[in-house]
Amino acid sequence: MRSVRAAYPIIALAGLAALLIVLVTVVRLISARAGFLVERPIVFLFWMAGLLIAAAVFAWVIRRSMRRDASRSSVLVMTVTVLALASPLALMLLQHPAR
């Protein structure tokens, strides 16, 4: 049970990402009839709102997880979560738009 509890942040991250992808797909299907000029801003605004809500929920899960179980396994799983989040961001920063 303790190892599962330490993995709550990464499980929550995967669940939030899957939920956001499903919801954006539904919004895209609903707004597709309105045309491209209407669909694009609606989907963008939905993505931004969803990412902000997901970040808040994820921060809450991390804070709760660290308060509840601050053991070595929890710090290790938290490090894996941070690396999973940081690796795509680091790859985006490596790209140079002028090349």
Give pLDDT, residue 11: 81
| Per-residue pLDDT at 99 | 54
pLDDT digits (tens, 9 = 90+) for 63-88: 777 777 666 776 777 777 777 776 76
pLDDT of 13-52, one tens digit each? 788 888 888 988 888 888 878 776 767 788 888 888 888 8
Model confidence at 12, in pLDDT bands (50, 70, 90)? confident
Q: Is 99 helix (H, G, I), strand (E, B) or coil?
A: coil
pLDDT number for residue 15: 87
pLDDT at 7: 72
What residue segments make up the domains of the chain, in order of their start?
Answer: 2-94
| Distance of alpha carbon 99 from alpha carbon 50, whole angstroms | 32
Q: Which residue has the higher pLDDT, 33 or 95?
A: 33
Q: Specify the pLDDT at position 94.
A: 64
C-beta separation of 51 from 20 below 8 A: yes
* 96 has pLDDT over 70: no
Report d(CA 52, CA 12) in Å as an integer. 15
